[in-house]
């Protein structure tokens, strides 16, 4: 199976990661969009979502290791949400597609590990500056990073909306899917008083911008 066939088989985007898919003419997209545009539509959101869950898993592991009893109810809710996400992927993607997303995301995170580390240090530094007396700063910083990537997924989908409109006249208005909205709320609760964190901090914004640029320039093996 070549890359074009792979993109045709995966469709545009699993329902769990996009909104109002039924309104999009998939066949028209496959004929009128370039291969790179199709990859951006179908594959990039899956990578971002996998990155989000990687951070969420680390947050839950930190909470368990630190025995943060107050977070037990939230941890249970997040684990339930994770199962819903996995079940949705099982419905929409076969094993080979799911494995490709997993392996290519892991490869991406390893290849750009330095940039992920710099993003963490930017977030953690800002967190300590704004909330110096809050415990569990590592766990809370990773929860904030998960939130940043959820925001990035929204931004990417809006960019794809614009691209669809400009290229084939499809007027799609993406909104944050309910599952990611819930996950964002849970991560915000774990971060604690996230309203004091400066999400517009220059180093934080540059860090997430770099990660998006890396996502666009990375090479993926979709065969």
Question: Is 222 among the domain residues?
Answer: no
- Best mean pLDDT range from 34-38, 67-71, 119-123, 155-159: 119-123
Asked if residue 53 has pLDDT above 70, the reply is yes
Asked if residue 124 has pLDDT above 60, the reply is yes
Question: Is 164 among the domain residues?
Answer: yes
- Best mean pLDDT range from 82-91, 168-177, 183-192: 183-192
The neighbour count for residue 7, using CB atoms within 10 Å, is: 21
Q: Which domain holds residue 27?
A: 3-217
Alpha-carbon distance 175 to 41, whole Å? Answer: 15
Distances (CA, A) of 205 to 96, 148, 199: 34, 9, 7
**What confidence score (pLDDT) does residue 25 get?**
62
**What confidence score (pLDDT) does residue 24 get?**
55
Report the share of the chain in percent with pLDDT over 70: 87
Question: Is 223 among the domain residues?
Answer: no
Number of domains in the chain: 1
Question: Is 134 among the domain residues?
Answer: yes
Question: Is 24 among the domain residues?
Answer: yes
Alpha-carbon distance 93 to 14, whole Å? Answer: 7
Alpha-carbon distance 115 to 109, whole Å? Answer: 9
Least confident of 22-31, 57-66, 90-99: 22-31
Helix ranges restricted to H, the chain = 3-10, 26-32, 35-42, 44-65, 72-92, 95-111, 113-130, 137-168, 178-191, 202-217
Which two structure tokens, joined as six digits, stand for 57?
């898993």
Residue that the structure tokens 């409109």 belong to? 165
Mean pLDDT of the chain: 86
Alpha-carbon distance 75 to 142, whole Å? Answer: 14
With 0-12 / 13-18 / 19 or more C-beta atoms within 10 angstroms meaning exposed / middle / buried, residue 37 is: middle
First-to-last alpha carbon distance for the chain, in angstroms, is 6
**What confidence score (pLDDT) does residue 93 get?**
85
Which two structure tokens, joined as six digits, stand for 36?
């790179």
Question: Is 127 among the domain residues?
Answer: yes
Q: What SS3 class is residue 211?
A: helix
Alpha-carbon distance 208 to 196, whole Å? Answer: 19
Question: Is 79 among the domain residues?
Answer: yes
Alpha-carbon distance 190 to 140, whole Å? Answer: 6
- Report the pLDDT averaged over residues 193-210: 91
Alpha-carbon distance 180 to 177, whole Å? Answer: 6
Indicate the pLDDT class of residue 26, thresholds 50, 70 and 90: low
Asked if residue 12 has pLDDT above 50, the reply is no
Question: Is 67 among the domain residues?
Answer: yes
């Amino acid at each position: 199976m070549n890359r074009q066939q792979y993109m045709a088989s995966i469709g545009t985007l699993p329902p769990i990661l996009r909104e109002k898919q039924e309104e999009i003419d998939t066949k028209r997209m496959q004929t009128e969009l370039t291969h790179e545009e199709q990859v951006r539509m179908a594959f990039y959101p899956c990578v971002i979502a996998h990155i989000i869950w990687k951070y969420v898993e680390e947050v839950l592991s930190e909470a368990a290791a630190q025995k943060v009893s107050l977070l037990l109810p939230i941890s249970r809710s997040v684990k339930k949400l994770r199962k819903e996400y996995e079940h949705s992927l099982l419905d929409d993607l076969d094993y080979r597609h799911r494995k490709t997303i997993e392996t290519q995301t892991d490869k991406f995170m390893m290849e750009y590990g330095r940039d992920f580390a710099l993003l963490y240090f930017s977030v953690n530094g800002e967190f300590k500056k704004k909330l110096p007396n809050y415990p569990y700063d590592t766990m809370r910083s990773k929860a904030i990073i998960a939130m940043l990537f959820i925001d990035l997924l929204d931004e990417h989908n809006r960019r794809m909306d614009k691209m669809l409109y400009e290229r084939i006249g499809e007027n799609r208005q993406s909104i944050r899917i309910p599952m990611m909205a819930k996950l964002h709320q849970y991560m915000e609760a774990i971060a604690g008083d996230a309203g004091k964190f400066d999400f517009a901090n220059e180093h934080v914004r540059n860090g997430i911008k770099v990660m998006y640029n890396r996502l666009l320039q990375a090479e993926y093996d979709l065969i």
